[in-house]
Amino acid sequence: MTKHYDVVVVGAGIFGSCTAYHCQRLGMRTLLLEQFNLGHSNGSSHGKSRITRYAHTDPEYVPLVGDSYSQIEQLEKMRGEKLWNKLGLLWAATGNQVQSISGHLQAHNIEHEVIRGNEIPKRYPQFKFDEKWTGLIDPMGGVIYANKWLNAFQEEFKHLGGTIQENEPLISHDESYDSPLELTTKNGKYTSNKIIFTVGCWITKFFPHVNFKIKVSFLLSSFFHLTYLQPISLAVCYWKAKEENQRHLLDEKHFPVVIAKNLEKKEYYFALPDTDYQGAIKLVLDDGDELNEDLSHPKKNNKDFVDLPGKFITEHIPVVDGTKPYKVDQCKYTNSPDHHYLIGPVSSETSNILVGGCGSGSGFKTAPGIGRALAEMAAGKKTTVDVSFFSPSRFVTPI
């Protein structure tokens, strides 16, 4: 007999795992489907670390971060497990960006500090910035223990009675919008009242025809003109200290999480202490190569995505050896055209099919808040955090 669920969440990355947990918590019988094994490294949610921070270029993110922070604090207490390290964020930027971020943080009463670029090395001796740069210190920023978050949400989901099916890709789904919706997977069929797609870059494989023409992407930038989503592959580079006796400067006690934006050169970097590989910071350029047609990574990333971070290190983090990375991993990014998330129903006509996606380089820290919002939408409730800014309907053009 075909199994029926209140909600099927497709994709067990961090978005799907948080969403499934909240659905089950709200009393909905939930199935979480994953095409690979849990904890695989083919998507965007693998690895040991991510950055968390209140500081953001757009104020709409701040309440989502706040909701995620309170969830993680509760989860830490509940599980007796350390899930993050609030070691502080340094945001260094040229131009006036820091002032604008400071304005958003002030509006939300978030503690922070703005310092001149040449004062940054007094705070963090690893760095070298001049007066063209300004620094913002966000003391609530820090390292997310990413694999622990993923595992915690999946385990808590199961404790609440949720079902996870791994190695079971969804092949097709009912697009009629009438509940119950039918889903066909590699192993069989299910029915569900709601489907929530949290499929990362595989979003491009779904939604051929929805009333507002979601085709490969969700988006119509103008009548009949489709804008395609193009997920990318990032070269995730790790770098060691020049001298053994400087190695300690790269650990979680000494090295902050960092966002660095040279706005004139349009080069954006992020960096974390040596959480993933002892003795090697992670420093990555926020750009990448196109994925292959089957959404796999290119064999090797373009040399620029390794050379540019190396140059940045040589210029701004003199204790680190920027001549050659210690290691290069890969990770997938999915950006929407305006670089903001997609959270909400795929159609204005129904809330039976929802999507959470386009987390790009910032979605891990907000995933608990996003998951709660998606679950509340599926349950027909008002969302705890207003996520209307992220609604897919912002790209809708009537046909």
Ligand X SMILES: Cc1cc2nc3c(=O)[nH]c(=O)nc-3n(C[C@H](O)[C@H](O)[C@H](O)COP(=O)(O)OP(=O)(O)OC[C@H]3O[C@@H](n4cnc5c(N)ncnc54)[C@H](O)[C@@H]3O)c2cc1C
Q: Which residues bind ligand X (CB under 6 A)?
A: 10-16, 33-36, 43-45, 50-51, 169-170, 198-200, 202, 234, 236, 270, 284, 331-333, 357, 359, 361-365
Indicate the residue among 35 and 102 with the shorter CB distance to ligand X.
35
- Beta carbons within 8 Å of 275's beta carbon, 6+ residues apart: 48, 49, 143, 145, 252, 282
Cα–Cα distance for residue pair 325/271, rounded to 1 Å: 13
- Shortest spacing between CB 258 and ligand X, in angstroms: 10
- Residues 29-44 as b/e (b if ≥16 CB within 10 A, e otherwise) read bbbbbbbeeeeeebbb
Chain Cα centroid distance, residue 372 = 15
CB of residue 292 vs ligand X: minimum separation in angstroms?
Answer: 15
Q: Of 69 and 270, which has the nearer Cβ to ligand X? A: 270
Closer residue to ligand X (CB): 135 or 200: 200
What CA–CA distance (Å, rounded) separates 386 from 375? 13
Report in angstroms how near the CB of residue 85 gets to ligand X at its nearest. Answer: 13
Instruction: Closer to ligand X by CB, 335 or 397: give it.
Output: 335
C-alpha–C-alpha distance, residues 320 and 325, integer Å: 10
Closest CB to ligand X among residues 309, 359 = 359
Q: Which is nearer to ligand X, 49 or 94 (CB)?
A: 49
**Cα 367 from Cα 127, distance rounded (Å):** 31
Minimum CB distance to ligand X smaller for 20 or for 249: 20
* Measured CA distances, 210 to 33, 213, 216, 223, 338 (Å): 22, 5, 11, 15, 21
Residue indicated by tokens 């669920």: 5
Give the residue with the Cβ less far from ligand X, 39 or 121: 39
Smallest separation (angstroms) from ligand X to the CB of 33? 5
Between residues 122 and 186, which has the closer beta carbon with respect to ligand X? 186
Question: How many Cβ atoms are within 10 Å of 2's Cβ, its own excluded?
Answer: 10
Type of residue numbered 284? V
Rounded to a whole number of angstroms, the minimum distance from the CB of residue 185 to ligand X is 7
Give least dist CB 370 to ligand X, A: 9
- Least Å from the CB of residue 294 to ligand X: 12
Judged by beta carbon, residue 27 or residue 44, the one nearer ligand X is 44
* CB of residue 243 to ligand X, shortest distance in Å: 27
Structure token digits, residue 380: 């027909």
Angstrom distance (rounded) from CA 199 to CA 9: 9
Alpha-carbon distance values, 349 to 176, 210, 345, 353, 354 (Å): 11, 10, 9, 10, 12
Question: Which one, of 304, 248, 302, lies nearest residue 278 by Cα?
Answer: 248
What's the angle, vertex CA 47, arms to CA 168 and CA 74, rounded to 5?
90
Residue carrying the six token digits 């974390």? 272
Q: How far is the CB of 118 from ligand X (least distance, A)?
A: 26
CB of 362 to ligand X, least distance (A): 5
| CA 379, chain centre distance (Å) | 24
Residue nearest to ligand X (CB): 13
Alpha carbon dihedral 56, 201, 12, 150, in 10-degree steps, equals -40
When the beta carbons of 137 and 196 are compared against ligand X, the nearer one is 196
Using the 8-state DSSP alphabet, how is residue 87 labeled?
-
Cβ atoms within 10 A of the Cβ of 162, count? 23
Closest contact distance (angstroms) between CB of 203 and ligand X is: 8
